[in-house]
Amino acid sequence: MADHYFSSEPTSADVRRTVQARIWGRDYTFTTATGVFSRDRLDIGTAVLLREVEPPTTGGTFLDLGVGYGPIACALAVEVPEAQVWGVDVNTRALDLTTENAKAAGVADRVHPVLPDDVPEDLRFDQLWSNPAIHIGKPELHRMLLRWFGRLKPGGVAWLVVGKNLGGDSLQRWLTEQGYPCQRVASAKGFRVLKATATNPGTSPS
């Protein structure tokens, strides 16, 4: 079977290259590779998310869900010096690239690329950022989002970007139905930028 960016262990040759990106007014050079998401450029959806949403203004613990090679995680850590950023992905090659890119950005001490099951059980997040892997299918997507939305602190915020033609509007409705009030904050280039809020105090650790 051919590799997907959500393959856990890509079997394709690990061919590296660099891509340039400008995020929140800063220029970055990221190392990418075959077998990871959008290896040839900063993908359009992520670019829309980072253009339409300003970085956090205070420190906290942030989650980049589906970290890929790490552009969101690295940019969050650079912009918010007090932040601890956890980058979750099932793709081990992506995690290696995030580690490399965090070192290059000078934030390796505050960016933590890990497999999903390696996130400490008691850790809760102030914000979640994601260009979620829609192509894993709706049932698996919903399970993934509920798992990680349940790790948001009360009042925590999730920022998502989803293609309109990939179910952005229906996902907005579904999140609200699950108890995470969700609003569309921007639309651009065929993508919806969504903001969902954790209002259930039960999401906080006891």
Per-residue confidence at 146, pLDDT binned at 50, 70, 90? very high
CA distance 94 to 35: 8
Pairing of strands 61-65, 84-88: parallel
Q: How much of the chain, in percent, has pLDDT values that exceed 90?
A: 74
pLDDT of residue 34: 78
Spatial strand order of the sheet with 125-130 comes to 111-114, 84-88, 61-65, 125-130, 152-163, 191-197, 182-188
Integer Cα distance of 163 and 179 in angstroms: 22
Q: What pLDDT digit, counting tens, does each position of 66-96 carry? A: 999 999 999 999 999 999 999 999 999 999 9
Helix (H, G, I), strand (E, B) or coil at 56: coil
Assigned fold of 16-203: Rossmann fold (3.40.50)
Given a cut of 70, whether residue 27 has pLDDT beyond it is yes
Cβ-contact 160, 176 below 8 angstroms: no
pLDDT at 111 over 50: yes
Lowest mean pLDDT among 36-40, 49-53, 77-81, 186-190: 36-40
> Quick one: tokens of 18?
């660099």
Q: What are phi and psi of 155, to 5 degrees?
A: 85, -5
What's the whole-model pTM score? 0.88
Rounded Cα–Cα distance for residues 150 and 163 (Å): 23
For 116-131, the pLDDT digits (tens) are 999 999 999 999 999 9
What pLDDT is attached to residue 12?
62
d(CA 195, CA 52): 11
| 9: pLDDT strictly greater than 80 | no
